[in-house]
Amino acid sequence: MVIKAQHVTKIYRSGQLRVEALSNISLEIAQGEMVAIMGPSGCGKTTLLNCLSGLDTIDEGDIYIRGDNLRDLSERERTAYRAQHMGFIFQDFNLLPVLSAVENVELPLLLARVPSQKARRRALEMLEIVGLTERARHRPAELSGGQRQRVTIARALVNSPTLVWADEPTGNLDSTTAGDIMALLLRLNQEQQQTFVIVTHALDIGEQAHRIISMRDGKIV
């Protein structure tokens, strides 16, 4: 199993207020799977993704990624682990507006101290894979929503991660563009055998995954 969570609980506290965002969550996800996490707003989908990926800490339980317990890693080690083994796709793209598409895509490699020429070649390869070679020099403001999401996907996959986390990756897109983006994710999952965990509220998106994990009130139902 590439992901294994055991009895995970996450509690948010504010003064006297105590909210159990995740309650005794256990799950397993295999290498190469595409899993959709679904449920109503506020049910804990994004919190679960953030905890599984090590972006957020947990109060109880254990999360293993490729056999490593995230609890045993320091904050610095978790950050390095994410940079080496994980890619992230967000609903709002999170692209740097002053950089071109290719510069946005190569950024994770440069941060990992990959030589600049090698990073640029790899970034251009990824833009070709997502069908955006001709837009490599354009900045985000010069791209459509679908094109910006393709740049985000290229950036998430440029370091060949074992795991790709996607939080509402089609949330800001029209239905046609959303379908194109999902088809791209499915193709990349099949070709490269990377594991995808997708948070979505859209049933037509979720149904294309290998399986759906349904959540309600911080629990898997």
pLDDT averaged over 10-residue windows placed end to end, the chain, 221 residues: 96 90 96 95 94 94 94 89 88 88 94 92 94 95 92 92 91 85 90 92 92 96 93
CA triplet 125, 129, 109: central angle to 5 degrees? Answer: 40
Which pLDDT belongs to residue 171?
A: 83
Closest among 96, 93, 82 to 181, alpha carbons compared: 93
CA-based nearest residue to 185, from 202, 170, 203, 175? 170
Please report the domains of the chain, with CATH numbers, ordered by start residue. 31-56+81-220 (3.40.50.300)
pLDDT in the model for residue 176: 86
The tokens of 36 are what? 């959709």
Q: Which pLDDT does position 25 carry in this prediction?
A: 96
The pLDDT of residue 90 is: 83
User: Are 177 and 209 spatial neighbours (Cβ–Cβ below 8 Å)?
Assistant: no
Q: Are 154 and 99 in contact (CB under 8 A)?
A: no
